[in-house]
Amino acid sequence: MSETKGLTRQQMADRVAREFQDGWIVNLGVGIPTMCSNTDIGDRDITYHSENGVIGYGPVAAEGQEDLNLVNAGGQNVTLKPGAAVVHHADSFGVIRGGHIDATVMGAYQVSMTGDFANWKLAGQKGGGIGGAMDLAACAKRVFIILEHVTRKNEPRLVQACDLPITAKGVVTLVMTNYGLFEPTGTGFRLREIAPGLTVEDVRAVTGGTLTVADGLKTIAV
Amino acid sequence: MTQRSKVVANFAAAVADVPDGATIAFGGFAMPGTPFNLIKALMEQGAKRLTLVANTTGGAQQPRMPDIGMLVENGQVAKVICAFTAATRPTDVLPFTKYYESGEVDAELVPQGTLAERMRAAGAGVPAFYTPTAVGTELAKGRETRVINGREYLLEYALPLDYAFIRARTADVLGNLRFHRSQRNFNPVMATAARCTIAEIDDPIQPAGSIDPDDVHTAGIYVHRLVQVPPSPEGIWPAKREARAR
């Protein structure tokens, strides 16, 4: 990956995983969000749900131990934790639409200050890759987004309004970037925690809308 | 009273009557539960102007296994209905993409949960339903919505199928099925929505009564033809995905 400031991909995933509370049912999207399951969050009991109906999967299977008929949403051969269950696709999305998912973590191209986000279609692309993102975005109790803070052209991905087609409107509750941890406020973003080595001005320069800063701004422990 | 076995001798015989213009759904999410052998047989059978329903158009993973993108490349497809018509990584270009961009093949992009529910509805006699998914997005433009208890929902129609091609671990001769792990995915739902469900089966097909009724995942009433998958290399089995460069 290209040289970036602030947190690594795993450090972003680690910080988001520390938001998960004991007993939560969590859906992790493809890419960086998958790394949340690597984070040690002590004895908190988290049940990971995957769109294909696997409820209660564990780490990726060791080399040679893979069950080729068991994958997570990213197509990785995972393991099952004791007490896991498998349901079919319509039931799996019943879990999602029915409001049984406490948090979903997804990647995105853009997040807006009103909590919209875009992650299924690039400008000018015909077709797209929606997968389960629209169902999860519309129905999970909390939508957490992990993304690089800026594009390769150094343009903000935290924007006033998404110019890419959105996945859902006004649903994002938490935004994790390599620059820090944010909440959309409606008029901008509130910086809750900042990555080590960066200043508030560094962040403000590449963030859309009005950046507000949490009282007693903390630096993210890595 | 005799109970008729649904076992068909081979894949070619199982797909022989698929007509031009049919709507066919294919189970599978990544490799598990994908009816690789039925896809290959349909390529050899040659039916044209097909409408194909599946999670993806295929071709994003290596090694490449039989997928509906191959039926597209084979000139058999008029339209696909999928949750992905492009790769999850924008830098990947799917084999399907050039046929779609040239207008040779049409595509309907449907959120994954809506896709599953549209087939569930078709199988359960529900003609349409409201869902919160995709409200406020490009997909909802110009379409019927309704506010129920203060929340906006989008109207979606059932998706009935002519055929469902599915894969299961265990079957008895009457078509009662059990799936292994995430092999299940769309397969049971597609089976309910199709006029003719054809299942390829991993394990030797058992006599009736060998699966406890409480343990059946898909009831045999939804399954019309069964084909035993032969050992590799004659039969096609899930392979280990190759690691990708970042």
CB interface of B with A, residues 76-105, below 8 Å: 83-88, 90, 97, 100-101
Q: What is the pLDDT of residues B108-150, one digit of tens each?
A: 999 999 999 999 999 999 999 999 999 999 999 999 999 999 9
Which residue is it, tokens 């991905």?
A: A157
Torsion of CA A12, A18, A23, A25, to 10 degrees: -10
CA distance A85 to chain B (A): 9
Interchain contact, A90 vs B135, CB within 8 Å: no
Which residue is it, tokens 């909440």?
A: A183
CATH of the domain at B46: 3.40.1080.10
Task: Annotate chain B with DSSP letters as a single string.
Answer: --PPP-B-S-HHHHHTTPPTT-EEEE--SSSTT--HHHHHHHHHH---SEEEE-SB---SSSS--S-HHHHHHTT-EEEEEESBSS-SSTT---TTHHHHHTTSSEEEE--HHHHHHHHHHHHHT--EEEESTTTTSGGGTT--EEEETTEEEEEEE---EEEEEEEESEEBTT--EE--GGG-TTHHHHHHHEEEEEEEESSPPBPTT-S-GGG-SB-GGG--EEEEPPSTTTS----PPPP---
- Other C-beta atoms closer than 10 Å to the C-beta of A193 total 15
CA distance A215 to chain B (A): 34
By Cβ distance, the residue of A67, A130, A168 closest to B181 is A67
By Cβ distance, the residue of A97, A121, A125 closest to B113 is A97
Per-residue confidence (pLDDT) for residue B1, from 0 to 100: 56
Closest Cα in chain A to B100: A126
Tokens found for residue B64 = 């490449």
d(CA A60, CA A66): 8
Size of interface A-B (CB pairs under 8 A): 160
What's chain A's length in residues?
A: 222
How far from B173 is each of B37, B194, B224, CA to CA, in Å?
A: 19, 19, 10
Supply angle C-alpha B86, B87, B91, rounded to 5: 110
CB interface of B with A, residues 169-198, below 8 Å: 169, 179-189
Tokens found for residue B113 = 């949960």
Q: What is the pLDDT of residues A204-219, one digit of tens each?
A: 999 999 999 999 999 9
Give B135's contacts in chain A (Cβ within 8 Å): 138, 168-169
Closest Cα in chain B to A118: B137
Inform me whether the pLDDT recorded for B89 exceeds 90. Answer: no
Interchain contact, A135 vs B186, CB within 8 Å: no
Closest Cα in chain A to B28: A52
Residues of A classed as catalytic: 51
Interchain contact, B185 vs A89, CB within 8 Å: yes
Q: What is the pLDDT of residues A43-91, one digit of tens each?
A: 999 999 999 999 999 999 999 999 999 999 999 999 999 999 999 999 9
Interchain contact, B97 vs A169, CB within 8 Å: no
pLDDT confidence tier of residue B2, bands split at 50, 70 and 90:
low
d(CA A10, CA A182): 17
As a 3-state breakdown, chain A gives helix, strand, coil percent values, each rounded to 5, of: 15, 35, 50
Which position has the higher pLDDT, B1 or B220? B220
Q: Is the peptide bond before B233 cis (omega within 30 degrees of 0)?
A: yes
Strands (E) located in A32-185: 47-50, 54-60, 78-86, 103-107, 110-112, 117-118, 143-146, 158-159, 172-176, 180-184
Q: Specify which residues B228 forms β-bridges with.
A: B201
Q: What is the pLDDT of residues B33-82, one digit of tens each?
A: 999 999 999 999 999 999 999 999 998 888 899 999 999 999 999 999 99
Inform me whether the pLDDT recorded for B161 exceeds 80. Answer: yes
Inform me whether the pLDDT recorded for A1 exceeds 60. Answer: no
Give B241's contacts in chain A (Cβ within 8 Å): 75-77
d(CA A50, CA A56): 8
pTM exceeds 0.90: yes
CA distance B85 to chain A (A): 5
Inform me whether the pLDDT recorded for A3 exceeds 60. Answer: no
d(CA B96, CA B178): 32
Q: Which CATH architecture has domain A9-219?
A: 3-Layer(aba) Sandwich (3.40)
Residue B182 near residue A70, CB atoms below 8 Å: yes
Number of domains in chain B: 1
Give B97's contacts in chain A (Cβ within 8 Å): 126-127
Give B187's contacts in chain A (Cβ within 8 Å): 88
Average pLDDT of chain A is 95
Alpha-helix residue ranges (DSSP H) falling in chain A: 9-17, 89-97, 133-139, 200-204
d(CA A172, CA A145): 7
d(CA B175, CA B191): 11
Q: What is the pLDDT of residues B213-225, one digit of tens each?
A: 999 999 999 999 9
Interchain contact, A132 vs B111, CB within 8 Å: yes
CA distance B83 to chain A (A): 5
Per-residue confidence (pLDDT) for residue B246, from 0 to 100: 45
Contacts of A11 (CB under 8 A, 6+ apart): A220, A222
Taking each helix axis from N to C terminus, what angle separates B112-124 and A89-97, rounded to the nearest 10 degrees? Answer: 120
Closest Cα in chain A to B119: A90
Q: Helix, strand, or coil here: A15?
A: helix
Per-residue confidence (pLDDT) for residue B79, from 0 to 100: 98
Range A159-175 average pLDDT: 98
Interchain contact, A92 vs B116, CB within 8 Å: yes
Tokens found for residue B177 = 């099925």
Which sequence spans correspond to the domains of chain A? 9-219
d(CA B172, CA B213): 11
Q: Is residue B52 part of a domain?
A: yes
d(CA A164, CA A209): 17
Residue A67 near residue B181, CB atoms below 8 Å: yes
Q: Is residue B238 part of a domain?
A: no
Q: What is the pLDDT of residues B195-242, one digit of tens each?
A: 999 999 999 999 999 999 999 999 999 999 999 999 999 999 999 888
Residue A133, chain B, CB below 8 Å: the answer is yes
Q: Helix, strand, or coil here: A3?
A: coil
Residue A88 near residue B188, CB atoms below 8 Å: yes
The dihedral region occupied by B187, where left means phi > 0, alpha psi between -120 and 50, and beta the remainder, is: alpha
CA distance A51 to chain B (A): 8
Closest Cα in chain B to A76: B241
Residue A70, chain B, CB below 8 Å: the answer is yes
d(CA A75, CA A54): 12
Q: Specify which residues A50 forms β-bridges with.
A: A54
Which residue is it, tokens 């191959």?
A: B70
Average pLDDT of chain B is 95
Closest Cα in chain A to B130: A97
Q: Is the peptide bond before B63 cis (omega within 30 degrees of 0)?
A: yes
CA distance A185 to chain B (A): 20
Give A152's contacts in chain B (Cβ within 8 Å): none
* Residue of B88, B143, B217 to mutate when probing chain A, most A C-beta within 10 A: B88
Per-residue confidence (pLDDT) for residue B51, from 0 to 100: 98
